[in-house]
A and B are shown apart, each in its own frame.
Chain A
């Protein structure tokens, strides 16, 4: 509890704040120009909903807690040799090779222990909370719906129009997304097949203020919009292309993401795409009874990891990677202890994945701490509030001013640096993604410094806030490229530190927070 309140009140806030030594990063880096899309207008957000409650502990596995995890969930845990080691402290489920590659290439962020206070373990209430971005039961609008309502106040009256010819959001499949529910209507448009031509008949009774009248108006507008939006979606899908060969045609999520890539590359101005993967409610048969690395959860994660990595690959080939970012979420994680049905029951916090070329950091937040006492119903406690993540996405990605974001949420927002790496002006000199980072940050005992260098000598030091060198982390020659150097800080007191990466090509200073 002590650690949790410390985290909440101070540490993460200071991570999000500008660092005193910022600016030193740019010294001596060769000038280059790159094609950032400065305008948030062109940016697209892809949301992947993992429906049912994803078991975070078998997705992002805290390797330093493995012994206790083995006690708690012996029949579902992934055997250690099979785990993909992402960092010395964190492993992925063995099927997540695609996402592991993304992590190493700097296009995947893991946000650990995401949830909200007083976790509700009902699927439906919890999904409502994640969709509305509010704990208030009276709120019926989605978090994006609220945002869109502010920008397009009379929707759906008068839409589409010349300025906004395309749907604001597209929900792939047969259902609209409750994240986009606005006051009057839902801002998302359900698309199961972007190539389908539509020309629906409309007639209609006027809205006389009755329930019936409201349905008539709703249906009438829906039919008009469907006809008009179908034309633009159709045109974009036909004009767009997909270049990656990594999509698996048997993977429905991959096929949907490929359609998303085509619509984006075809010029559709839709800002948000929402996709859904069902099946994460793994009370039983989460893993096969004969082999814990196979089973329903493995199949689901493989589909997710393969599809997202193929999509990211495609965005790169299409030259639109800097315009697209995405994230995954689930209504809750699952309990730490498994049940006898080779499954896990409803839990609390779980990791989110953020992906895209403009992510800031590899890992946000430390590993959960797993007790060696098996207590029924225990789950991973929340450390990062998803509402803060949503707010940070609005700020970094759609560049909404903080003064407009705060009114959309009920909590006092703590901003994280999530998708700001492309938010430097065209006159800036460095690709933020080439900047060194430390992950996880804040850290407990173990972390990794990631940096880019030429073929040169690299010396890495840990210094405290008074500028004293505490520890030498690395001192050797390295080849050109991106490197990951793990280090340990056992016994060091909590506080603010800096990691200096000294290279002939330039010195980088990275702020670091250590917690107990």
Chain B
């Protein structure tokens, strides 16, 4: 086995615009990295539109719907309306039942957004930020909704403003103890993580309590700066939302002294907006742009930061970010149009995260549950749990650093798969293809094999079907023998024209189960195999 750090090859680290061929290969690579799984049609559309238009199209955050009440335990808001501004009942047990109902609705909403994303980076970016500001669910679903809305609002926006708003977001205040950080008892939790994980990052420890970019003094000073905010309205019977409120009496009014790493600057008492003064000082350090650029690079391109990548790529990304006052969009624009991004070395360089597995199976066939609101929502909750079993529960990252596969060297994305989670991946693959599908309330949800095959370039041609499926599901070409095996499954070992006969019969009479079922089951068998191939586990 060749260790990763020995992987060699001519890797272009040129950040100039990509001018090579623009075919399904490049378009699919861009879409696989920026969405949870493109359809064949989306790939061909991107080829037709060209790289620039496709990137512009991707880098937009469309409006999204609201989480809707559907659980019978929800009695304050009516079924089908939203609960995001609904109070809680006074009875503690009943309030908990409402919380459970609302959290389920929120989880379903998050999954539905991914399942119906279209050609936009929005959902990939939101997951990026959930991993970055890795707060877990608040004890009030309305606060969790606000947190996820804040993420979506700033997903491609200004990183500095994002950090400021996140600092006083109720969910974050609760998660890292900002809500109990007062003059009388500073709590360092947020002050530490904002430096270590959210903005400047921790460098090597070069002295007692000195982490190159900041020191323990800065952590203590930051804790004082952030004092004074509390969270109000949790499960309130009168307040319709959870808010953070500043109380001057709880704020530390001293002048805070920062370390040499921040030029020994001080922060004067400045009440409710003092936290923003401090964040402005943090963002004066260019290291912040390097830190977040590195994280974006690892998420969208590759985990391996070689010296060349550091010098020629990360530095350029960071400079673009600094030139644009910490705007995220120009950085991604540059990255997704760069020669570096389209280098063949990065095809399949990332192992799919669990959500990319689940929705990488459903989205390319536009398989969207279409039952009642309650059944659809519970289907989405099932998908949420499948991803959780594979190691990624969207609303509850394992720690404030996010999921380990995004930061733990040397294995990085390999950490998504082990003997237990690989089995969960394969179990789901079988479940939604060969078996009954996800069962909820007497309904079953499977991959929509017929929609998938109908959307391909020449669905009655066995060779073309396999070629197109490979384009959709695999980052690199399969070997001839692998493709032959998939075609054998499709044709049942018969000559290729037998598939044409079967498909044409179905196309002529699509509502006739006698001719549609054989086509459907063949595609399902092929998909079952595809989803269980190691090649599918990468993007």
Binding site for B on A (CB under 8 A): 118, 120-125, 137, 140, 156-157, 173-176, 178, 181, 183-186, 189-192, 196, 198, 200-205, 207, 209-223, 225-226, 229-230, 278, 283-284, 339-341, 343, 345-346, 376-377
- Do B7 and A214 touch (CB < 8 A)? yes
**A212-B347, A222-B422 known; 18 other A-B pairs, CB under 8 Å?**
A122-B192, A122-B196, A140-B409, A174-B391, A175-B418, A181-B411, A200-B426, A203-B533, A203-B534, A204-B534, A209-B8, A210-B345, A219-B537, A221-B1, A222-B418, A223-B534, A345-B187, A377-B188
Specify which of B177, B211, B304 is in contact with A341 (CB 8 Å cutoff). Answer: B177
Within 8 A of A (CB), among B496-539: 529, 532-535, 537-538
Specify which of A123, A215, A217, A341 is in contact with B537 (CB 8 Å cutoff). Answer: A215
- Do A226 and B177 touch (CB < 8 A)? no
Q: A181-B411, A222-B422 are in contact. Are A211 and B349 (CB under 8 A)?
A: yes
- Do A341 and B410 touch (CB < 8 A)? no
Stretch at the interface among B278-286, B366-374, B444-452, B474-482: B474-482
- Do B419 and A189 touch (CB < 8 A)? yes
How many whole Å from B174's CB to the nearest CB in chain A?
Answer: 9
The interface centre, meaning the residue of A190, A192, A211, A341 with most chain B CB atoms within 10 A of its CB, is A211
Q: A121-B216, A340-B182 are in contact. Are A230 and B419 (CB under 8 A)?
A: yes
Q: A118-B205, A201-B532, A203-B533 are in contact. Are A124 and B401 (CB under 8 A)?
A: yes
Q: What residues of chain B lie closer than 8 Å to A122, measured between beta carbons?
A: 192, 196, 202, 211
How many whole Å from B7's CB to the nearest CB in chain A?
Answer: 6
- Do B208 and A118 touch (CB < 8 A)? yes
Specify which of B3, B9, B413, B415 is in contact with A184 (CB 8 Å cutoff). Answer: B3
Within 8 A of A (CB), among B165-203: 176-177, 180, 182, 184-189, 192, 196, 202
Report the Cα distance A507→B198, complex, angstroms.
63
Report the Cα distance A195→B420, complex, angstroms.
12
- Do B534 and A220 touch (CB < 8 A)? yes
Q: CB-defined interface of B396-425 with A at 8 Å, one 1/0 digit per residue?
A: 001111001001111101110111111100
Report the Cα distance A330→B414, complex, angstroms.
25
Task: Indicate whether B351 reaches chain A with its CB closer than 8 angstroms.
Answer: yes
**Residue ID in chain B nearest A217 by CB atoms:** B1
The interface centre, meaning the residue of B3, B220, B420, B426 with most chain A CB atoms within 10 A of its CB, is B420
- Do B189 and A340 touch (CB < 8 A)? no
**Residue ID in chain B nearest A342 by CB atoms:** B180
Task: Indicate whether B385 reaches chain A with its CB closer than 8 angstroms.
Answer: no
How many whole Å from A231's CB to the nearest CB in chain B?
Answer: 12
**Residue ID in chain A nearest B401 by CB atoms:** A124
Report the Cα distance A178→B411, complex, angstroms.
10
Could you show 14 A-B contacts with beta carbons less than 8 Å apart?
A121-B216, A124-B407, A157-B1, A189-B418, A201-B529, A201-B533, A202-B534, A207-B1, A211-B7, A214-B2, A219-B534, A283-B177, A339-B180, A376-B186
How many whole Å from A507's CB to the nearest CB in chain B?
Answer: 48
Q: What residues of chain A lie closer than 8 Å to B408, measured between beta carbons?
A: 178
How many whole Å from B338's CB to the nearest CB in chain A?
Answer: 18
- Do B351 and A215 touch (CB < 8 A)? yes
Task: Indicate whether B222 reaches chain A with its CB closer than 8 angstroms.
Answer: no
- Do A340 and B184 touch (CB < 8 A)? yes
Task: Indicate whether B20 reaches chain A with its CB closer than 8 angstroms.
Answer: no
- Do A174 and B418 touch (CB < 8 A)? yes
Report the Cα distance A283→B421, complex, angstroms.
31
- Do A340 and B7 touch (CB < 8 A)? no
- Do A198 and B419 touch (CB < 8 A)? yes
Report the Cα distance A189→B422, complex, angstroms.
12
Q: A226-B419, A341-B177 are in contact. Are A376 and B534 (CB under 8 A)?
A: no
Shortest beta-carbon contacts, A-B, top 9: A340-B185, A212-B348, A211-B349, A219-B534, A341-B180, A226-B419, A190-B418, A190-B420, A140-B410
- Do A175 and B415 touch (CB < 8 A)? yes
Q: Which secondary structure dominates where chain B touches chain A?
A: loop
- Do A192 and B420 touch (CB < 8 A)? yes
Q: What residues of chain A lie closer than 8 Å to B345, measured between beta carbons?
A: 210-211
How many whole Å from B475's CB to the nearest CB in chain A?
Answer: 7
Report the Cα distance A198→B424, complex, angstroms.
10
How many whole Å from A97's CB to the nearest CB in chain B?
Answer: 31
Q: What residues of chain A lie closer than 8 Å to B391, measured between beta carbons?
A: 174-175
Q: CB-defined interface of B287-304 with A at 8 Å, one 1/0 digit per residue?
A: 000000000000000101
Q: What residues of chain B lie closer than 8 Å to A346, measured between beta carbons?
A: 188, 192
How many whole Å from A368's CB to the nearest CB in chain B?
Answer: 18
- Do B186 and A339 touch (CB < 8 A)? yes
Report the Cα distance A137→B204, complex, angstroms.
7
How many whole Å from A230's CB to the nearest CB in chain B?
Answer: 7
The interface centre, meaning the residue of A120, A176, A221 with most chain B CB atoms within 10 A of its CB, is A176
How many whole Å from A116's CB to the nearest CB in chain B?
Answer: 11
Q: What residues of chain B lie closer than 8 Å to A218, measured between beta carbons?
A: 1, 414, 417
How many whole Å from A125's CB to the nearest CB in chain B?
Answer: 6
- Do A174 and B420 touch (CB < 8 A)? yes
- Do B422 and A376 touch (CB < 8 A)? no
Specify which of A118, A125, A203, A340 is in contact with B180 (CB 8 Å cutoff). Answer: A340
Report the Cα distance A156→B208, complex, angstroms.
39
**Residue ID in chain B nearest A211 by CB atoms:** B349
Q: What residues of chain A lie closer than 8 Å to B91, measured between beta carbons?
A: none
- Do B187 and A198 touch (CB < 8 A)? no
Report the Cα distance A118→B216, complex, angstroms.
12
How many whole Å from A50's CB to the nearest CB in chain B?
Answer: 14
Report the Cα distance A278→B391, complex, angstroms.
15
